[in-house]
Amino acid sequence: MSRKKIIAGNWKMNKTPSEAVELVKTLAPLVQNPEVDVVYCVPAIDIIPVRDAIAGSNVHLGAENVYFEESGAFTGEISPAMLKDAGVEYVIIGHSERRGYFGETDQDINKKLLKLLEHGFNPIVCCGESLEQRESGITMDWINMQIKIAFQGVTADQAKGVVIAYEPIWAIGTGKTATTAQAEEVCKGIRETICGLYDEATAAAIRIQYGGSMNAKNCAELLAEPDIDGGLIGGAALKPDFGTIVKC
Protein backbone atom coordinates (compact mmCIF):
# COMPACT_ATOMS: atom_id res chain seq x y z
CA MET A 1 0.00 0.00 0.00
CA SER A 2 1.31 3.41 -0.94
CA ARG A 3 1.54 5.74 2.06
CA LYS A 4 2.13 9.46 1.64
CA LYS A 5 5.30 10.57 3.38
CA ILE A 6 4.93 12.97 6.30
CA ILE A 7 7.70 15.30 7.47
CA ALA A 8 6.78 17.14 10.67
CA GLY A 9 8.90 19.72 12.41
CA ASN A 10 8.77 19.71 16.20
CA TRP A 11 9.94 23.20 17.11
CA LYS A 12 9.92 22.41 20.86
CA MET A 13 10.38 25.52 23.05
CA ASN A 14 11.97 27.63 20.35
CA LYS A 15 11.03 30.77 18.37
CA THR A 16 9.12 33.81 19.56
CA PRO A 17 6.07 34.71 17.45
CA SER A 18 8.04 37.16 15.32
CA GLU A 19 10.92 34.68 14.91
CA ALA A 20 8.41 31.99 13.95
CA VAL A 21 7.02 34.09 11.12
CA GLU A 22 10.53 34.76 9.82
CA LEU A 23 11.32 31.04 9.86
CA VAL A 24 8.13 30.26 7.93
CA LYS A 25 9.13 32.82 5.30
CA THR A 26 12.62 31.32 5.05
CA LEU A 27 11.33 27.78 4.67
CA ALA A 28 8.43 28.58 2.31
CA PRO A 29 10.28 28.06 -1.01
CA LEU A 30 12.19 25.07 0.37
CA VAL A 31 9.29 22.86 1.48
CA GLN A 32 7.14 22.82 -1.64
CA ASN A 33 6.63 19.14 -2.37
CA PRO A 34 3.12 17.88 -3.23
CA GLU A 35 4.17 14.29 -2.59
CA VAL A 36 4.77 14.98 1.11
CA ASP A 37 2.60 16.16 4.00
CA VAL A 38 4.63 18.96 5.60
CA VAL A 39 3.70 19.91 9.17
CA TYR A 40 4.98 22.59 11.54
CA CYS A 41 4.27 21.63 15.17
CA VAL A 42 4.90 24.87 17.00
CA PRO A 43 4.75 26.30 20.55
CA ALA A 44 1.27 27.36 21.61
CA ILE A 45 2.05 31.07 21.46
CA ASP A 46 3.20 30.68 17.84
CA ILE A 47 0.10 28.85 16.57
CA ILE A 48 -1.88 31.89 15.41
CA PRO A 49 1.00 33.78 13.71
CA VAL A 50 2.25 30.59 12.04
CA ARG A 51 -1.28 29.77 10.89
CA ASP A 52 -1.48 33.15 9.21
CA ALA A 53 2.02 32.88 7.75
CA ILE A 54 1.39 29.48 6.10
CA ALA A 55 -2.07 30.41 4.75
CA GLY A 56 -2.44 29.30 1.15
CA SER A 57 0.68 27.11 1.25
CA ASN A 58 1.16 23.34 1.31
CA VAL A 59 2.13 23.37 5.01
CA HIS A 60 -0.15 21.96 7.70
CA LEU A 61 -0.36 23.41 11.21
CA GLY A 62 0.45 21.31 14.25
CA ALA A 63 0.63 21.69 18.02
CA GLU A 64 3.10 20.17 20.46
CA ASN A 65 0.66 19.07 23.13
CA VAL A 66 -2.98 19.04 24.26
CA TYR A 67 -4.94 18.28 27.41
CA PHE A 68 -7.61 15.58 27.56
CA GLU A 69 -10.37 17.67 29.13
CA GLU A 70 -12.77 19.91 27.21
CA SER A 71 -12.39 22.90 29.55
CA GLY A 72 -12.10 23.77 33.21
CA ALA A 73 -9.71 24.68 36.00
CA PHE A 74 -6.53 23.37 34.38
CA THR A 75 -4.24 26.37 34.47
CA GLY A 76 -1.71 26.46 31.68
CA GLU A 77 -3.27 23.70 29.60
CA ILE A 78 -4.80 23.89 26.11
CA SER A 79 -8.00 22.11 25.10
CA PRO A 80 -8.75 20.34 21.81
CA ALA A 81 -11.47 22.91 21.04
CA MET A 82 -8.96 25.76 21.40
CA LEU A 83 -6.57 24.07 18.97
CA LYS A 84 -9.35 23.24 16.52
CA ASP A 85 -10.61 26.83 16.49
CA ALA A 86 -7.05 28.06 15.87
CA GLY A 87 -6.75 25.90 12.74
CA VAL A 88 -4.53 23.12 14.09
CA GLU A 89 -4.67 19.79 12.22
CA TYR A 90 -1.91 17.70 13.78
CA VAL A 91 -1.02 17.30 17.48
CA ILE A 92 2.03 15.60 18.98
CA ILE A 93 1.32 13.52 22.09
CA GLY A 94 3.53 11.28 24.20
CA HIS A 95 6.83 12.89 23.27
CA SER A 96 9.67 11.59 25.42
CA GLU A 97 10.26 15.07 26.83
CA ARG A 98 6.63 15.27 27.97
CA ARG A 99 6.92 11.82 29.52
CA GLY A 100 10.33 12.42 31.09
CA TYR A 101 10.15 16.03 32.27
CA PHE A 102 6.43 16.31 33.02
CA GLY A 103 5.55 12.80 34.15
CA GLU A 104 3.01 11.95 31.46
CA THR A 105 1.99 8.27 31.53
CA ASP A 106 0.83 5.83 28.88
CA GLN A 107 -2.66 6.23 30.33
CA ASP A 108 -2.45 10.00 29.83
CA ILE A 109 -1.46 9.43 26.21
CA ASN A 110 -4.44 7.14 25.72
CA LYS A 111 -6.82 9.80 27.08
CA LYS A 112 -5.27 12.42 24.82
CA LEU A 113 -5.45 10.18 21.76
CA LEU A 114 -9.11 9.39 22.31
CA LYS A 115 -9.92 13.07 22.80
CA LEU A 116 -8.01 14.13 19.68
CA LEU A 117 -9.78 11.52 17.57
CA GLU A 118 -13.12 12.66 18.98
CA HIS A 119 -12.35 16.16 17.70
CA GLY A 120 -11.11 15.03 14.28
CA PHE A 121 -7.39 15.75 14.64
CA ASN A 122 -4.48 13.86 13.11
CA PRO A 123 -2.56 12.71 16.20
CA ILE A 124 1.18 12.02 16.16
CA VAL A 125 1.78 9.45 18.91
CA CYS A 126 5.38 9.15 20.07
CA CYS A 127 6.99 6.02 21.43
CA GLY A 128 10.56 4.98 22.07
CA GLU A 129 13.12 3.44 24.36
CA SER A 130 15.98 4.67 26.51
CA LEU A 131 19.58 3.54 26.06
CA GLU A 132 19.25 1.33 29.15
CA GLN A 133 16.16 -0.36 27.72
CA ARG A 134 17.83 -0.93 24.36
CA GLU A 135 20.93 -2.39 25.97
CA SER A 136 18.73 -4.63 28.11
CA GLY A 137 17.14 -6.09 24.98
CA ILE A 138 13.59 -4.96 25.78
CA THR A 139 13.15 -2.33 23.06
CA MET A 140 10.17 -3.95 21.34
CA ASP A 141 8.60 -5.14 24.60
CA TRP A 142 8.66 -1.55 25.86
CA ILE A 143 7.38 0.00 22.66
CA ASN A 144 4.67 -2.65 22.25
CA MET A 145 3.41 -1.79 25.73
CA GLN A 146 3.37 1.94 24.94
CA ILE A 147 1.39 1.39 21.74
CA LYS A 148 -1.07 -1.11 23.17
CA ILE A 149 -1.97 1.20 26.06
CA ALA A 150 -2.10 4.32 23.86
CA PHE A 151 -4.50 2.67 21.38
CA GLN A 152 -6.95 1.22 23.91
CA GLY A 153 -10.47 2.07 22.77
CA VAL A 154 -9.31 3.22 19.32
CA THR A 155 -11.10 1.59 16.38
CA ALA A 156 -9.34 0.30 13.30
CA ASP A 157 -10.78 3.09 11.16
CA GLN A 158 -9.56 5.68 13.67
CA ALA A 159 -6.13 4.06 13.93
CA LYS A 160 -5.56 4.40 10.18
CA GLY A 161 -5.47 8.19 10.57
CA VAL A 162 -2.97 8.18 13.43
CA VAL A 163 0.73 8.81 12.84
CA ILE A 164 3.20 6.95 15.06
CA ALA A 165 6.60 8.51 15.66
CA TYR A 166 9.39 6.21 16.80
CA GLU A 167 11.88 8.25 18.77
CA PRO A 168 14.84 6.39 20.25
CA ILE A 169 15.32 8.55 23.33
CA TRP A 170 19.06 7.99 23.26
CA ALA A 171 19.24 9.62 19.81
CA ILE A 172 17.31 12.82 20.54
CA GLY A 173 19.40 15.98 20.73
CA THR A 174 22.58 13.98 21.17
CA GLY A 175 23.74 13.96 17.58
CA LYS A 176 23.53 10.16 17.69
CA THR A 177 21.21 8.35 15.37
CA ALA A 178 20.08 4.79 15.15
CA THR A 179 21.51 2.97 12.17
CA THR A 180 19.13 2.70 9.24
CA ALA A 181 18.76 -0.99 9.99
CA GLN A 182 17.90 -0.32 13.63
CA ALA A 183 15.34 2.32 12.72
CA GLU A 184 13.69 0.11 10.11
CA GLU A 185 13.67 -2.87 12.48
CA VAL A 186 11.70 -0.97 15.12
CA CYS A 187 9.34 0.72 12.65
CA LYS A 188 8.60 -2.68 11.11
CA GLY A 189 8.01 -4.05 14.61
CA ILE A 190 5.58 -1.21 15.32
CA ARG A 191 3.66 -2.06 12.15
CA GLU A 192 3.50 -5.69 13.24
CA THR A 193 2.15 -4.58 16.62
CA ILE A 194 -0.61 -2.59 14.90
CA CYS A 195 -1.37 -5.62 12.73
CA GLY A 196 -1.76 -7.71 15.86
CA LEU A 197 -4.03 -5.14 17.49
CA TYR A 198 -6.16 -4.66 14.36
CA ASP A 199 -5.46 -6.23 10.97
CA GLU A 200 -3.13 -6.11 7.98
CA ALA A 201 -5.09 -3.34 6.25
CA THR A 202 -4.78 -1.04 9.26
CA ALA A 203 -1.09 -1.82 9.64
CA ALA A 204 -0.55 -1.09 5.95
CA ALA A 205 -2.38 2.24 6.19
CA ILE A 206 -0.83 3.72 9.32
CA ARG A 207 2.15 6.04 8.84
CA ILE A 208 5.25 5.59 10.98
CA GLN A 209 7.87 8.32 11.35
CA TYR A 210 11.43 8.10 12.56
CA GLY A 211 12.14 10.75 15.18
CA GLY A 212 15.76 10.35 16.19
CA SER A 213 18.00 13.11 14.85
CA MET A 214 16.98 12.79 11.20
CA ASN A 215 18.86 15.41 9.23
CA ALA A 216 19.82 16.48 5.71
CA LYS A 217 22.66 13.96 5.60
CA ASN A 218 20.88 10.79 6.69
CA CYS A 219 17.29 11.44 5.57
CA ALA A 220 17.51 9.87 2.11
CA GLU A 221 18.77 6.56 3.44
CA LEU A 222 16.23 6.44 6.28
CA LEU A 223 13.26 7.43 4.11
CA ALA A 224 14.12 4.76 1.55
CA GLU A 225 13.19 2.04 4.07
CA PRO A 226 9.82 0.36 3.48
CA ASP A 227 8.42 0.97 6.97
CA ILE A 228 9.72 4.53 7.55
CA ASP A 229 7.07 6.89 6.21
CA GLY A 230 8.57 10.18 7.29
CA GLY A 231 10.32 12.00 10.08
CA LEU A 232 9.53 13.93 13.23
CA ILE A 233 12.28 16.50 13.01
CA GLY A 234 13.69 18.43 15.96
CA GLY A 235 16.79 20.61 15.56
CA ALA A 236 16.85 20.45 11.76
CA ALA A 237 13.28 21.78 11.63
CA LEU A 238 14.58 25.21 12.62
CA LYS A 239 17.03 25.41 9.72
CA PRO A 240 16.93 25.44 5.91
CA ASP A 241 17.98 21.78 6.22
CA PHE A 242 14.30 21.03 6.84
CA GLY A 243 13.67 21.77 3.18
CA THR A 244 16.30 19.22 2.17
CA ILE A 245 14.53 16.57 4.22
CA VAL A 246 11.19 17.41 2.59
CA LYS A 247 12.80 17.11 -0.84
CA CYS A 248 14.14 13.64 0.04
Q: Which residues are catalytic?
A: 95, 167
The H or E element containing residue 166 is strand 163-166
State which amino acid sits at residue 100.
G
Integer Rg of the chain from CA: 17
> 56: Cβ–Cβ under 8 A, 6 or more apart, which residues?
none
Asked whether the beta carbons of 214 and 4 are under 8 A apart, the reply is no
Report the C-alpha gap between 147 and 125 in whole angstroms. 9
Hey, CA dihedral for 83, 235, 129, 198, is it positive or negative? positive
Compute how many other C-beta atoms are within 10 angstroms of the C-beta atom of residue 219: 24
